[in-house]
């Protein structure tokens, strides 16, 4: 490659078409190239990225460094720093929820670990630095409070339901569930209109605050709640969870079809309980089969987001209300973090292909 004369203007030109992961628009166009220095000693760039793309900050830094080294091969040192770029969310849909992305986590049948994946997705994004809320919309079997060890009846202040919070170091993730509103042993026996009202109220009246992501744990199957969500706010997409065996895949494909019928994009599939790696002999056992979700994702032309093995620690942490500790476990963390990164990377790729159009705020 021919050497380009080094100057701040040349560096800015080299990054002129580098897109912001959240908006899909060039960083320069969005005033996110905060400073550019180019001297004989090297290049130093400060790039502003929003917390929406926090889990991609390291990868984005690496891509910028790679581009600058390719453009200016004679420069000995390239330093790229990431600073937080503030971009408040707009209000979404009829209910005025302040969130940039709303992700539903669903499954065609129960018992596939959907709630564990939903909780892990929310925790993984929050750990990376994003502002995340978690709504348990599985009204018939709300398990999010148990998985997170969250309890206590939410209070109402100023006409707003105050959520419970899951503590993540210095961060706090708001959590709302019907399981916090009814006694644990009490069954919820509701028809469609009552479901619609309850979900709408939890979305609209909870004091979520401004969010990068709202993750919604859906009930299993193809019932009313997906239709409710599609009517009251625009969803960024859905993640479908299944296990490898054929009976689970048959139901998962129905969930994919349902989401498409109500115009909710499918962000990809996760294969939970994918395999068991024996801790004693390190031998892999495909207890429920192997690769079924990956094949189904290819058949439906949707992304395969990754697999999660059967691990005793994942079960123990969930039973003890410490699901977040899966991210402190070197055996489970890589699988869960990879799924979180692929979800956000998919949203970034979608935004780069067709940047979201500006929208008017809901007053």
CA dist 18 and 78 (Å) reads 16
Tell me the pLDDT of the chain averaged across its residues: 90
Q: Are 291 and 327 in contact (CB under 8 A)?
A: no
Residues 6+ apart with CB under 8 A from 207: 157, 160, 161, 162, 163, 174
User: How high is the pLDDT of residue 363?
Assistant: 47
What pLDDT digit, counting tens, does each position of 116-144 carry? 999 999 999 999 999 999 999 988 889 99
Q: Which among 37, 35, 45, 29 has a CA at the least distance from the CA of 7?
A: 37
Rounded Cα–Cα distance for residues 150 and 77 (Å): 48
**Contact assessment for residue 326 and residue 120, using Cβ atoms and an 8 Å cutoff:** yes
Question: Per residue in 168-210, pLDDT tens?
Answer: 988 899 999 988 987 776 666 666 677 778 888 899 999 999 9
First to last CA, the chain: 52
Query: Quick one: tokens of 117?
Result: 């994946």
Report how far apart, in Å, the C-alpha atoms of 350 and of each of 9, 129, 245 are.
29, 21, 30
Using alpha carbons only, what angle is made at residue 64 by residues 20 and 352, rounded to the nearest 5 degrees? Answer: 30
Residue with tokens 């019928």: 261
Q: What is the pLDDT of residue 247?
A: 80
Q: Which of 170, 180, 125 is nearest to 148 (CA)?
A: 180
Secondary structure class of 40 (helix, strand, coil)? coil
Task: Give tens-digit pLDDT for 278-297.
Answer: 888 989 999 988 888 999 99
What is the residue whose two structure tokens read 């596939």?
Answer: 112
What's CA 36's distance to the chain center, in Å? Answer: 31
pLDDT band at 362 (very low <50, low <70, confident <90, very high): very low
The pLDDT value recorded for residue 291 is: 86
DSSP strands (E only) in the chain: 33-39, 42-49, 78-84, 91-92, 97-106, 132-136, 156-157, 160-161, 164-168, 171-177, 211-217, 237-242, 266-277, 284-285, 304-310
Question: Which of 3.40.50.300, 3.90.420.10, 2.40.50.320, 1.10.357.10 would CATH assign to domain 91-353?
Answer: 3.40.50.300
In the predicted structure, residue 85 carries a pLDDT above the cut 90 = yes
Give the separation between CA 193 and CA 342, rounded to whole angstroms. Answer: 35
Cα gap 35→176, rounded to integer Å:
41
219 Cα distance to chain centroid = 18
Task: Say how far apart CA 115 and CA 104 lie, in whole Å.
Answer: 11
Task: Tell me how crowded residue 20 is: count the other CB atoms within 10 A of its CB.
Answer: 26
Q: What tokens does 352 get?
A: 């780069």
129: its two tokens: 């630095």
- When pLDDT is averaged across residues 72-99 and rounded to a whole number, the result is 92
| Domain map (residue ranges) of the chain | 14-84, 91-353
E strand or H helix that includes residue 321: none
Encoded tokens for 360: 């008017």
3-state secondary structure 149-162: CCCCCCCEECCEEC
Q: Residue 296 corresponds to which tokens in the numbers above? A: 């189904």
Summarised one tens digit per residue, pLDDT across range 153-168 is 999 999 899 999 999 9
């Amino acid at each position: 490659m021919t050497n380009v004369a080094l100057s701040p203007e040349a560096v800015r030109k080299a990054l002129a078409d580098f897109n912001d992961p959240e908006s899909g628009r060039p960083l320069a166009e969005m005033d996110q190239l905060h400073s550019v220095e180019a001297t004989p000693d090297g290049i130093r760039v400060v790039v502003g990225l929003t917390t929406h793309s926090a889990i991609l900050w390291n990868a984005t830094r690496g891509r910028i460094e790679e581009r600058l080294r390719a453009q200016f091969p004679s420069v000995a040192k390239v330093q790229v720093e990431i600073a937080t770029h503030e971009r408040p969310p707009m209000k979404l849909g009829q209910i005025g929820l302040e969130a940039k992305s709303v992700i539903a986590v669903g499954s065609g049948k129960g018992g596939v670990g959907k709630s564990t994946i939903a909780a892990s997705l929310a925790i993984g994004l929050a750990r990376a630095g994003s502002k995340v809320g978690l709504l348990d919309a599985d009204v018939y079997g709300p398990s999010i409070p148990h998985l997170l060890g969250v309890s206590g009846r939410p209070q109402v202040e100023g006409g707003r339901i105050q959520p419970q919070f899951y503590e993540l170091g210095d961060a706090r993730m708001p959590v709302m569930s019907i399981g916090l509103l009814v006694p644990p042993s009490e069954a919820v026996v509701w028809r469609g209109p009552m479901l619609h009202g309850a979900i709408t109220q939890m979305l609209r009246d909870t004091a979520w605050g401004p969010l990068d992501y709202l993750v919604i744990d859906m009930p299993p199957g193809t019932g009313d709640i997906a239709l409710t969500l599609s009517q009251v706010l625009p969803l960024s997409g859905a993640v479908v969870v299944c296990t490898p065996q054929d009976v689970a895949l048959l139901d998962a494909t129905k969930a994919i079809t349902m989401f498409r019928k109500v115009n909710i994009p499918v962000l990809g599939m996760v294969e939970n309980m994918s395999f068991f790696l024996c801790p004693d002999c390190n031998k892999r056992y495909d207890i429920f089969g192997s690769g079924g979700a990956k094949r189904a994702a290819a058949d439906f032309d949707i992304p395969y987001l990754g697999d999660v093995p059967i691990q005793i620690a994942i079960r123990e942490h969930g039973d003890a209300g410490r699901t977040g500790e899966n991210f402190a476990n070197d055996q489970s963390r890589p699988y869960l973090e990879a799924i979180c990164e692929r979800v956000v990377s998919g949203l970034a790729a979608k935004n780069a292909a067709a940047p979201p159009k500006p929208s008017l705020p809901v007053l």
